[in-house]
Amino acid sequence: MSLSQSDTASGATPMPDTCQSMTDVRAGVDALDARLVDLLATRFAYMRAAARIKPERGHVRDERRKAEVIANAKARAEALGLPADAIAAIWDSLVETSIAYELDHWDRRRQD
């Protein structure tokens, strides 16, 4: 059973294989983007937890862990047939942004 454009308008988001129009595709992408941001909010909550837990500012940046996280994302991308190098680059940016966020929270916790 495929979803029609009216299904999308009523709130149901079509899966990629059931899209019948660019309206369906865009609705699916927009819904997925919102979910990704929600997941990123959870990831950044873990960064706040790390800032609370780590006793020293120098512990925030962990290059071995950064490499592990990026390698995990790249391997997952490869397994799913996605552009692994591009995913690795996205994850590099995500991890660097996470480190900066964690450092900011680490500093703010210690200033109060």
Does the annotation flag 68 for ligand binding? no
Return phi, psi of residue 80, to 5°.
-95, 0
Does the annotation flag 52 for ligand binding? no
Does the annotation flag 102 for ligand binding? yes
Only one residue has tokens 């059973």, namely: 1
CA distance 104 to 102: 5
**Residue 86: how many CB atoms within 10 A of its CB?**
11
Does the annotation flag 108 for ligand binding? no
Residues making up the annotated binding site are 26, 43, 54, 102
Residues making up the annotated binding site for substrate are 26, 43, 54, 102
